[in-house]
Homo-oligomer: A and B are copies of this chain.
Amino acid sequence: MERTLTEVKPRREGVASQVGNETVVRCEALVYETSKAPEFIDITDEVDRIVQDSGVRFGQVTVYSAHTTAAIRINENEPLLLQDMARILHEIAPQHGEYEHNDFSRRTVNIEEEECANGHAHCQHLFLSTSETIPIVDGQLATGQWQRIFLVELDMPRQRKVLVNIIGVTA
């Protein structure tokens, strides 16, 4: 029998509650050289180190891609799975599909000297996300067992910047 929604009773667990007189805001950038597309670069360890160096015990960290064709996603780091996710991205918006954005004869704005045909990368990005926000509990990233944070390159290999922005209290 179908459960009704009101029958789903969760268990509620207090994790932490902290009042601080000082708010710490810390922002660092991580700069990566990507090598292909799509490429899933596991940046969890670097984010975790920045969180630990910040001294913030409770709060949150936002991991933010400063790009429109590189995304931030949390998923499992299993090599075969990364192949599956690459295939699904291709099915949604194949690289060699037809995109108005790639028709340089009609483009009037945002054309750069080395502009490449990247309509697929923008369209894939539409379904991913520019950032993820993760709680910080007791000075640690509160990620679950299998969760890894990825910078996802969708376009030509290049230098990419990820902002790691922390807000919280120290004690």
A residues at B contact (CB < 8 Å): 3, 5, 8, 10-33, 35, 41-43, 46, 50, 54, 58-60, 62, 64-68, 73-81, 83-85, 88-89, 92-93, 99-101, 103, 106-110, 119, 122-123, 125-135, 137, 142-147, 161-163, 165, 167-169
Contact in complex: B13, A29 (CB < 8 Å): yes
Total copies of the chain: 3
* CA A106 to CA B83, docked complex, whole Å: 13
Q: Which residue of B lies closest to A161 (CB)?
A: B144
Rounded to whole Å, the gap between the CB of A100 and the closest CB of chain B is 4
Using A3-B35, A21-B21, A81-B100 as known contacts, list a sample of 10 further A-B pairs with CB atoms less than 8 Å apart, ordered by residue number in A: A12-B50, A13-B31, A15-B163, A17-B24, A22-B23, A59-B167, A68-B144, A75-B126, A80-B100, A88-B126
